Amino acid sequence: MAACHLRSISFPSRSHPLTVSIEEQLYKLKASQSSSIGHKLNGLKNLLECVDDLLQLPQAQQTLSPERQSQYVQNALNGSLELLDFCDSTRDFFSQMKERVQEFELSIRRRKGRDCGLTSEVDAYMASRKNLNKAICKCLKNLKKKERNCTTAVLDSNSDLLNMISMLRGVQAIGLVVFESILSFISEPKAKSVPTGWSVISKLLQTKRVSCEVEIEVNEAEKIDAELLILKSSKEISLSQLQNLLKELEAFESSIKEAEEELESIYRRLVKTRVSLLNILNH
């Protein structure tokens, strides 16, 4: 993951509650690599809410007013659109993943009570996962490229304008990092096809239990993939095995739905922030 270098914010003043809150949330998100998806998305949502509140201040509107427009301001505006697009893509990927899980659940329920294998159902699910993962990998490459481009450097000037721009670039940078991080929740490990052999299974068995606020080493999608490899190789599958698999799929689907709701909320906040920027620059 690309580094996200952030500078201290001094607009309107470091003692202003909104400025202090934004600065704190930026660094919390930067340090939250081991946090759960819900924690990251909630943190980003709160950060964007504070940013929009800051943009409503007369000082911010005066700083970004048309007579002070520059390439910095235009870049910040373009960055808000890029963040909105990546949020939309991430939201769409989670929606597609949910559909695949629901289709797989349905196919298993149709076979419920039968002791034959699940080869055809597993193969269909894995094939759909592979196709989705190709699109996710492409998005991740673009994310990494944008992360490098929006890394915030220390600016020589101490003007309010450049301090404000630095803050907006910092928000864009951390937003891209969050989207990249949560996409790993539904993508195959290391952007490769589903691992074969016992490597994932061994990793799964070695994983230690941790607090629900921290992601386990093997995410839910990878855990299910590992178990499917075992079931696929089984000639006979018991009813209890099918029931356990359905429970895990339902839990995974629930996690995806929760992330979808958070992403929808973040998307609305990104739209609001962009509208605020456009209103400031057009009046």
Cα dihedral sign, 33-258-78-184: positive
> At 76, which amino acid appears?
A
**Blockwise average pLDDT, block size 10, the chain, 283 residues:** 42 66 85 78 92 89 71 83 94 95 90 66 89 92 80 52 84 91 78 38 38 44 82 79 89 93 95 90 78
Query: How confident is the model over 166-181, as pLDDT tens digits?
Result: 888 889 999 999 999 8
Q: Would residue 249 count as lying in a domain?
A: yes
Q: Would residue 194 count as lying in a domain?
A: no
Q: Which residue range(s) make up the domain with 253?
A: 17-150+179-188+238-282
pTM comes to: 0.78
pLDDT score at 3: 42
Q: Would residue 3 count as lying in a domain?
A: no
For the chain, the first-to-last Cα distance in angstroms comes to 38
Pick left, alpha or beta for residue 218 (phi over 0 → left; psi -120 to 50 → alpha; otherwise beta).
beta
Cα dihedral sign, 245-247-250-254: negative
Q: Would residue 106 count as lying in a domain?
A: yes
Q: Counting every residue, how long is the chain? A: 283
pLDDT score at 100: 93
Q: Would residue 2 count as lying in a domain?
A: no
Q: Would residue 230 count as lying in a domain?
A: no
